[in-house]
């Protein structure tokens, strides 16, 4: 996971919005390629650099110039954690799609849409809810 | 068609969860069971004369910063009330003892270290002031 740094606090919500739309289209069309695309996006954000995520770059180039006001900054660790959770869901969905196990694909995609939509629409902090519970269980 | 219905159901469920979470965020819940007691050594700080605001934070938690800013802004207006922030991950024993499930969780302790109540999620300034005025 990347080192803590400051990023534009609005970027993760916009990215979650794009993610929600992409996941819905992928689920509706049972598109393996679109699912793999989303898996790659999550992988870049979670393992390489969250600022290099294609949705983050799109936000920076297209959305941010149209927003006014000061840039609110936040720690990059919470959104990186959320991208890691997304990666887990979509990895399962991709395996489901590649093995034509469409029930697995559908459940994993639905779970990821649930989380991405909550993040985008309500600024829901997934890391706050599950990170500590996970640690309490496994440590 | 089935997948479309699944998507609609998922979005509705997420909306419900989001609205409930938003409504309960920062709400003060009174503790009726007055155990267990926290000790000063457990929080590595002395208790406030009238109360201690004990905040649990974690690394993957954006609202924890907002909670800290609000608490640091409000607490100095109340002499006798102390703010202590602990990293939940580094204090798992206390987290388990106090049954802290998520961050930020703000626990209000009386001068003896007994929990009076708690708020889960970043509290708003007005919510916090209303609670601290009772001490």
Q: What is the CA radius of gyration of chain A?
A: 15
Res. B33 pLDDT band, cuts 50 70 90? low
B91 found inside a domain = yes
Q: What is the pLDDT of residues B47-73, one digit of tens each?
A: 999 999 999 999 888 899 999 999 999
* Pick among A1, A83, A128, A133 to test the B interface (most B CBs inside 10 A): A128
Q: What pLDDT, on a 0 to 100 scale, did the predictor assign at position A2?
A: 45
Judging contacts by C-beta atoms under 8 Å, the chain B residues touching residue A124 are 17-18, 21
In terms of residue numbers, what domain contains B122?
27-132
Contact B63 A81 (CB under 8 A): no
Q: Could you give the CA distance from residue A84 to residue A44 in angstroms, rounded to a whole number?
A: 10
Contact B96 A136 (CB under 8 A): yes
β-bridge mates for residue B52, sequence order:
B82, B109
Question: Is residue B36 reached through a cis peptide bond, with omega within 30 degrees of 0 on the bond before it?
Answer: yes
Q: What is the pLDDT of residues B3-28, one digit of tens each?
A: 999 999 999 999 999 999 999 999 99
Q: What pLDDT, on a 0 to 100 scale, did the predictor assign at position A10?
A: 92
CA B115 to chain centre: 12
Number of structural domains in chain B: 1
- What rounded mean pLDDT belongs to chain A? 93
Instruction: Work out how many CB contacts closer than 8 A connect A with B.
Output: 95
B83 found inside a domain = yes
Angle, CA B28 vertex, CA B22 and CA B30 arms, to 5°: 140
Q: What is the pLDDT of residues A10-58, one digit of tens each?
A: 999 999 999 999 999 999 999 999 999 999 999 999 999 999 999 999 9
B15 found inside a domain = no
Contact of B64 with A127, CB cutoff 8 Å = no
Contact A135 B92 (CB under 8 A): yes
3-state secondary structure of A35: helix
Contact of B122 with B65, CB cutoff 8 Å = no
ipTM for the predicted complex: 0.88
The model's pTM: 0.87
* Pick among B1, B4, B5, B10 to test the A interface (most A CBs inside 10 A): B10
B79 found inside a domain = yes
Angle, CA B79 vertex, CA B73 and CA B82 arms, to 5°: 65
Res. A131 pLDDT band, cuts 50 70 90? confident
* Pick among B60, B64, B68 to test the A interface (most A CBs inside 10 A): B60
- Return the residue matching tokens 């991709």: A94
B106 found inside a domain = yes
Q: What is the pLDDT of residues B88-132, one digit of tens each?
A: 999 999 999 999 999 999 999 999 999 999 999 999 999 999 999
Contact B61 A125 (CB under 8 A): yes
CATH number at residue B57: 3.40.30.10
> Region A84-98: what's the mean pLDDT?
97
B123 found inside a domain = yes
B3 found inside a domain = no
Res. A1 pLDDT band, cuts 50 70 90? very low
B31 found inside a domain = yes
Q: What pLDDT, on a 0 to 100 scale, did the predictor assign at position B37?
A: 84
Q: What pLDDT, on a 0 to 100 scale, did the predictor assign at position A4?
A: 67
Q: What are the start-end ranges of the H helices in B1-135?
A: 2-24, 40-43, 63-74, 92-97, 125-132
Output phi, psi for B26, to 5 deg.
75, 5
């Amino acid at each position: 996971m990347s080192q803590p740094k400051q990023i534009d606090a609005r970027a993760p919500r916009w990215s979650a919005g794009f993610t929600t739309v992409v996941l819905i289209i992928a689920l509706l069309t049972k598109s393996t390629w679109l699912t793999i695309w989303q898996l790659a996006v999550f992988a870049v954000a979670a393992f390489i650099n969250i600022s290099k995520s294609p949705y983050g770059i799109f936000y920076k180039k297209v959305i941010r110039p149209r927003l006014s006001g000061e840039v609110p900054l936040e720690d990059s660790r919470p959104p990186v954690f959320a991208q890691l959770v997304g990666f887990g869901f979509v990895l399962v969905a991709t395996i489901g799609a590649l093995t034509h196990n469409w029930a697995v694909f559908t459940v994993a995609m639905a779970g990821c849409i649930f989380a991405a939509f909550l993040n985008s629409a309500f600024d829901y902090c997934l890391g706050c809810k599950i990170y500590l519970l996970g640690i309490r269980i496994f440590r | 068609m089935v997948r479309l219905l699944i998507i609609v159901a998922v979005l509705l469920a997420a909306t419900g969860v989001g609205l409930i979470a938003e409504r309960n965020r920062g709400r003060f819940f009174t503790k009726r069971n007055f155990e267990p007691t926290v000790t000063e050594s457990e929080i590595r700080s002395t208790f406030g004369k009238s109360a201690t605001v004990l905040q649990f934070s974690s690394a993957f938690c954006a609202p924890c910063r907002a909670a800290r800013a609000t608490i640091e802004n409000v607490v100095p207006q109340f002499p006798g009330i102390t703010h202590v922030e602990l990293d939940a991950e580094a204090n798992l024993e206390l987290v388990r003892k106090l049954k802290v499930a998520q961050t930020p969780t703000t626990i209000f302790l009386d001068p003896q270290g007994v929990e009076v109540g708690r708020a889960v999620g970043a509290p708003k300034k007005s919510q916090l002031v209303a609670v601290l005025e009772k001490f």
